[in-house]
Amino acid sequence: MVWLSPSAVLLSLTRLSFSIPFKLRQDSSVTTAILDDVTYTNKGLVGFGFIPSDFRESTGDTLGGIGSAIAFKQGTYQVLSNGSVTGTMVVHPDRGFNVDGTVDYQARQFEIDILLNPYYGSDNLDFEDAQKTVQLTYKRTILQFDRNDTKTTGLDALAVRPAQNGFPSDPLADPEMPIASEDEPHLTIDAEGLVANSDGSYWVSDEYGPYIYRFDANGQLIQTIQPPAAILPMDKDGDINFTSDDDPTTGRAGNQGFEGLTLDPINNVLYAMLQSATIQDGGDDKSTSRYTRLVAYDVSDPTVTRPSLVGEWVVPLPLSSKGNTEACSEIHFVSPGIFLALSRDGDGRGGDDNNSKYKNADLFSIAQATDIHGTDFDDPSNPIAKKGKLNKNITPAEYVEFVSFVDDDQLARFGLHNDDPSDETLIDAKWESLALAPVGDPDFPDDYFLFTFADNDFMTTDGISVGQPYDAGLDVDNQVLVFRVTLPSVDPASVEKALGID
Ligand SMILES: *[C@@H]1O[C@H](CO)[C@@H](O)[C@H](O)[C@H]1NC(C)=O
Ligand SMILES: *[C@@H]1O[C@H](CO)[C@@H](O)[C@H](O)[C@H]1NC(C)=O
Ligand SMILES: *[C@@H]1O[C@H](CO)[C@@H](O)[C@H](O)[C@H]1NC(C)=O
Ligand SMILES: *[C@@H]1O[C@H](CO)[C@@H](O)[C@H](O)[C@H]1NC(C)=O
């Protein structure tokens, strides 16, 4: 479906004076970050759009939470001669509308066509004109299936399916899997990260395992990666319990799984990062949970059943003024050793408070950080940061602030705001996804568009969840923001490979 008639688009674009493609404003809103002696530049917000909160996808369910994870479908991204760009974005909701308890929501991904008409002007657009800068068209839904064509679910993972016989030599074998119950042995997935592969398959990271799954282009599970024991949720007897309702004794905290997933497409290394610290590393409290773990897997050989762990590092997440962790909802590969990290509070439209203090796409470097993979720290009895105090033998990543999503001047250019009042022009609370694509400006070859989609938690007053109507009490649109950034360390061949550009 399309929200604008072509003539309305044309009219508004004339008014937005796009006549000089790529022309950039140079003013005080440009911010920089320095990491490993490289200067990265944020040139500001260039696009905004949304899909209405009540939009329904082809299964009849509310589209909901499209921003848990995003990735351009390979071979679809194009820079047009007028400076606009288009592509098909594959997006992942998490586990459905679960404000009143988890639901039997089959994991799925959506394809959404995106057209970005970047706006570089300094005048403040009104909300109506601003949303013409990013046009979003829902195309289709791909449901995801466990082995044997069994549907997956979003229900809490109260039971464990034992590892399959033949593990690990049987190519169909899986490790212990989170399932809803013995009676309903459906694989339960709370998807939070997405990587598009050149063969049409997708890596999907989740919160329950926390695992990384590979699905083929039709949504069939083909591979499962289980993290080291230190990350697996275990009870006091050392048994795995995947529930998200309670924190385990060791391992990932409830709902703090692999929010971040990204690929180094040249070296074929897949990276996943926990939203915040494991329980033994201080993850049981916001004031001690900043030292999270980044893990790396060699995925160069798609025929290997169990990709091997090739790296693990500690990343220090930013802290609020009260000393609480700004947990990380996404990471994105920039160049070997350098990543973007989307760390934030939960305030804004749909959040507890209207005033968001921290929503950033930051940068971190693991160039000097200690690689702890394969050491005693992979055993849950050896914390890296007991009660949140980092072990002195570990050098963590270097983390620097970069792009703020809650810059009042930048939001105002697109008819948006932070803080009271709460209405459709208030920035969404939960941003959980990042994608990079080249601007294609010959004068600025290091410039990239940074796309981010919000997760609205399926909040609408007119919803359908697994066929049943619901009213979440608030309409939170699925907002999309696009920034223009200069990333001098990026190898253009890497981004082209990630996007499937020949
Ligand atoms: C650029 O061209 C595309 C394709 O014709 C069109 O859809 C888009 O609106 C144009 N952008 C601008 C800013 O005119
Ligand atoms: C799939 O089906 C095969 C053959 O019936 C069975 O042995 C296997 O346990 C099933 N696997 C799962 C995960 O259901
Ligand atoms: C996990 O813990 C929950 C209680 O939090 C319990 O209901 C469930 O049975 C446990 N699952 C396993 C596999 O022990
Ligand atoms: C957010 O704004 C709305 C209306 O604009 C107001 O009713 C609500 O109390 C505000 N929330 C907080 C936590 O201040």
Mutate to test the pocket of ligand 3, among 235, 241, 279 (most ligand atoms within 8 A of CB): 241
Each residue's pLDDT tens digit in the chain (502 positions)? 333 333 333 333 333 333 334 444 444 467 999 999 999 999 999 999 999 999 999 999 999 989 899 999 999 999 999 999 999 999 999 999 998 899 999 999 999 999 999 999 999 999 999 999 999 999 999 999 998 899 999 999 999 999 875 545 565 579 999 999 999 899 999 999 999 999 999 999 999 999 999 999 999 999 999 999 999 999 999 999 999 999 999 999 999 999 999 999 999 999 999 999 999 999 999 999 999 999 999 999 988 888 999 999 999 999 999 999 999 999 999 999 999 999 999 999 999 999 999 999 999 999 999 999 999 999 999 999 999 999 999 999 999 999 999 999 999 999 999 999 999 999 999 999 999 999 999 999 999 999 999 999 999 999 999 999 999 999 999 999 999 999 999 999 999 999 999 7
The pLDDT value given to residue 169: 54
d(CA 354, CA 422): 6
Mutate to test the pocket of ligand 3, among 102, 155, 156, 158 (most ligand atoms within 8 A of CB): 158
Q: Report the separation in Å between the CA atom of 1 and the middle of ligand 1, taken as the mean of its atom positions.
A: 18
Taking residue 466's Cβ as centre, other Cβ atoms within 10 Å add up to 16
| Cβ of 120 below 6 Å from ligand 1 | no
| Cβ of 421 below 6 Å from ligand 4 | yes
| Cβ of 151 below 6 Å from ligand 2 | no
DSSP label of 187: B
The pLDDT value given to residue 79: 97
Q: Which pTM was predicted?
A: 0.94
The pLDDT value given to residue 6: 33
d(CA 433, CA 135): 18
| Closest ligand 4 atom number to CA of residue 352 | 13
Decide: 222 and 199 in contact? Cβ < 8 Å.
no
Ligand found nearest the CA of 429: 4
Name the residue with tokens 């091997």.
Answer: 308
d(CA 343, CA 331): 9
The full DSSP string for 231-299 is TS-B-TTS-B---SSS--SBSSPTT-SEEEEEEETTTTEEEEEESS--GGGTTTSTTT--EEEEEEEE-
* Domain ranges within the chain, ordered by starting residue: 33-499
Q: Return all residues near 429 (Cβ < 8 A) that are at least 6 apart.
A: 346, 347, 348, 349, 350, 351, 356, 454, 476
Pull the structure tokens for residue 304: 């290997």
Mutate to test the pocket of ligand 1, among 115, 116, 125, 134 (most ligand atoms within 8 A of CB): 115
Q: Report the separation in Å between the CA atom of 473 and the middle of ligand 2, taken as the mean of its atom positions.
A: 42
The pLDDT value given to residue 190: 97
| Cβ of 442 below 6 Å from ligand 4 | no
Can you list the pairs that 18-23 forms with residues at least 24 positions away whose Cβ atoms lie under 8 Å? 18/82, 18/83, 18/84, 18/117, 18/119, 21/81, 21/82, 21/83, 21/441, 22/83, 22/120, 22/439, 22/441, 22/443, 22/444, 23/120
DSSP label of 149: G
